[in-house]
Amino acid sequence: MLIKYFNVGSVFFLLLTNIYLILRQLNNSQCSIGNTYDLEYVKNYQDDQNKFDKKETEEVQKPSYSEYNVKDYEISEGFEIGFNVSFDLGRWDKSKSFKMFDYVHVGEEYGSLSKKYMVCMATQSSIEKLHSIAQVSEHWTGPISVAIYAAGDEEYYLLHWYVHFLKNCYPWISKRVSFHLGVPKLRIPTGKYPENLKNLKINNYKCRDYKNVLKEIIKLRPVEIVKWRMKNPYPQNHMRNLARKNCQSDYVFLTDVDIVPSFKLADNLNKFLKTAKKTCKNKCAYVIPTYELDSRTDFPKNKSELLRLSQKGLARAFHQKVFIYNQFATNFSKWESFVDSSEDEIIISHDVTNFEFLYEPFYVAPDTVPEHDERFLGYGYTRNTQVYETFVSGYQFQVLSPVFTIHWGLQGRKERPPWRERQNSVNRFRFELFKGEIFAKYRNDPLKMIG
């Protein structure tokens, strides 16, 4: 009998001990944001970034045909200060957390192109992905407004240096692209050139190595800045608004920097919009279908070639495997079966009839569509909330053919890193307030979001 009571008591003691340890661990996980949490956070972020870098190395972006004609020369010019910035000036966002600077560099033909084209491409990037603008600006012959983000002097001058490098390598960047700058309040550059960058010479690199050049120079960022960037969400919506509002055309095509347009898209859109402006009955937003492309293939010259790649499993709808609802409402099968009259004539394939809240198309619309809500920072609810408000405000989304955009690399389903899930959770909380405001503003709830 004594043994029986002893066993029961032991089990009860172990149970209480386990509960105590669990509660202690939970408390530590909540209270150690400035200590052990940092180590886990940095490790998870770095592991995720290493996987990305490895994938980028394995899946090298195929340049388009004309890039092979660029003279592979060593740039002889030294570093030149070319950005027009005074950090004492600039515009604050509503929360006074970020400062914006318009037109730190203006493309040589940006003004004339803005008069010629009815549509302007607006895109944004931090330094890590800026290499993509080389191919994007080659394909898009109209004006391009790019918002770039830098935290601190090292990032600012590395960004500045790399833009100068790209301008010297690719004439279409010098002509078509205007750059704007966003900086965080806690890391506003001082304008003092960092000591560790003084030996960085632009003539040590070749144009064909533009991706590897970027990978090399970002290693020069201090560990302190890298850790700060890990913990502080990238202000995607601030940057989207900054890029868009510096477009001078009536229509804006807002994209992410790694979304590459099909050939002749700007010119063909220009023709289409001249008539569409007259035929659009109410409010129209024009969806450009986005596909993922196997990085071992060449960029498709037209829709027919894209469909052949799709049939071979070398191309598929963007995010089809990662998160199908992201682009599902575009109805890719309907677009693929649509018979086009000409490769150079854009027409409406079909209307988007099954709009979903999670829908995130890249689309062309008048510059009067709602802005991106800047309360959403980092990942989650940044782009789809703007698309949702555009829909609620009365815009009809229409899918265009035979044009398209491409994202390099076939994406597989993968777990979200912890830092990204934390950002998504914060934005999910903010969305509860946002959806109530949208209903109050438009008195319209087509997706029954208010219950």
DSSP-assigned letters across all residues of 370-400: PPPPTT--SSSSSSHHHHHHHHHTTEEEEEE
| Averaged pLDDT for residues 132-140 | 97
CA atoms within 13 A on the CB side of 235: 26
SS3 assignment, position 120 = strand
Greatest mean pLDDT range, 195-204, 317-326, 383-392: 383-392
Query: Cα 122 to the chain's mean position, in Å?
Result: 11
Does pLDDT of 270 surpass 60?
Answer: yes
Confidence of residue 325 (pLDDT cuts 50, 70, 90): confident
Tokens (6 digits) for 122 = 């607006």
Using the Cα atoms of residue 421, residue 423, residue 424 and residue 426 in order, give the sign of their dihedral. positive
| Averaged pLDDT for residues 276-293 | 94
Residues 6 or more apart whose Cβ sits within 8 Å of residue 445: 392, 439
Query: Cα 180 to the chain's mean position, in Å?
Result: 15
Confidence of residue 52 (pLDDT cuts 50, 70, 90): very low
pLDDT at 264: 97
Q: What is the pLDDT of residues 110-122, one digit of tens each?
A: 999 999 999 999 9
The rounded distance, in Å, linking the Cα atoms of 391 and 355 is 8
Q: What is the pLDDT of residues 137-167, one digit of tens each?
A: 999 999 999 999 999 999 999 999 999 999 9
Q: What is the pLDDT of residues 212-260, one digit of tens each?
A: 999 999 999 999 999 999 899 999 999 999 999 999 999 999 999 999 9
Confidence of residue 48 (pLDDT cuts 50, 70, 90): very low
Mean per-residue pLDDT over the chain, rounded: 85
Q: What is the pLDDT of residues 55-99, one digit of tens each?
A: 443 444 444 434 434 444 444 444 454 788 999 999 999 999 999
Rounded alpha-carbon distances, angstroms, from residue 203 to 107, 160, 169, 349: 22, 15, 11, 48
Q: What is the pLDDT of residues 19-47, one digit of tens each?
A: 444 444 334 333 332 332 233 333 444 44
Does pLDDT of 204 surpass 90?
Answer: no
Place of tokens 């388009």: 64
Q: What is the pLDDT of residues 346-402, one digit of tens each?
A: 999 999 999 999 999 999 999 999 999 999 999 999 999 999 999 999 999 999 999
The rounded distance, in Å, linking the Cα atoms of 376 and 449 is 18
The rounded distance, in Å, linking the Cα atoms of 8 and 210 is 69
Rounded alpha-carbon distances, angstroms, from residue 377 to 40, 87, 184, 383, 420: 21, 23, 12, 11, 11
The domain ranges of the chain are: 72-258, 277-451
The rounded distance, in Å, linking the Cα atoms of 360 and 175 is 30
pLDDT at 5: 41
Residues 138/270, Cβ–Cβ less than 8 Å: no
Place of tokens 């407004």: 145
Confidence of residue 203 (pLDDT cuts 50, 70, 90): confident
| Averaged pLDDT for residues 295-316 | 97
What phi, psi does 18 have (nearest 5°)?
A: -65, -40
Rounded alpha-carbon distances, angstroms, from residue 333 to 219, 232, 294, 349, 428: 43, 40, 19, 11, 31
SS3 assignment, position 249 = coil
Query: Cα 40 to the chain's mean position, in Å?
Result: 26
pLDDT at 438: 97
Q: What is the pLDDT of residues 412-436, one digit of tens each?
A: 877 677 888 889 899 999 999 999 9
The rounded distance, in Å, linking the Cα atoms of 152 and 184 is 8
Range with lowest mean pLDDT among 15-29, 307-321, 323-337, 398-412: 15-29
Residues 361/329, Cβ–Cβ less than 8 Å: yes
